Structure 1
């Protein structure tokens, strides 16, 4: 199983913008068939070094993760939106 974690720092981290980002990420549920688990969390501490939103996903294989990256809903609806509202994005992928 492959875990894919992404941390997003928004350009403007208002409560409304954070909620919109969270909703957009959660909208992949049921639309991106290779997702085995999807969690989205909002930072509680809000320190200078904190990310605003965290995405935690699981996939059956590396091939499924790669298919997810180019899946039309993920690429066009979610990733494109997140790129437009984020000042930085970091990711980690690992096998469990």
Structure 2
């Protein structure tokens, strides 16, 4: 299994409605992309976040599933929406989980 972690920073805080839309679309990916075991996303509440406002974790059943995730049209729609809402930066960490 693979854990995929993403942190998202915006140039300016988008309206709550737009953040809710990002979260809803992201959580729905499990219904469209094979290989997703679990997916969680939420707003950051820590004051240690250095401006990163959203956190995402996706657990995949394999590295191959992670590789199929990135170019998948549903995932690319979310990336495009994030850019529309003022995406400034993302940090991504991927690692294998112990078996």
Name the TM tier (shorter chain).
Answer: 0.7 to 0.9
Separation in structure 2 between the aligned mates of residue 87 and residue 28 of structure 1, nearest angstrom? 22
Partner secondary structure for residue 49 of structure 1? coil
Q: CA RMSD in A?
A: 1.8
How much does 1:61 deviate? 1.1
Q: TM-score, normalised by structure 1?
A: 0.84
Counterpart CA distance in 1 for 2:49 and 2:69 is: 31
Contact 1:46 1:52 in 2 (8 A): no
Q: 1:24, 1:12 → 2: CA distance?
A: 20
TM-score w.r.t. structure 2 length?
0.82
**How big is the shift at 1:51?**
1.2
Stretches (4+) displaced over 4 A: none
- Give 3-state SS (helix, strand or coil) of 2:4's partner: strand
Runs of 5+ in structure 1 lacking a partner?
none
The 1:42–1:30 alpha-carbon spacing in structure 2 relative to 1, beyond 3 Å, is: same
Structure 2: which 5+ residue stretches go unaligned? none
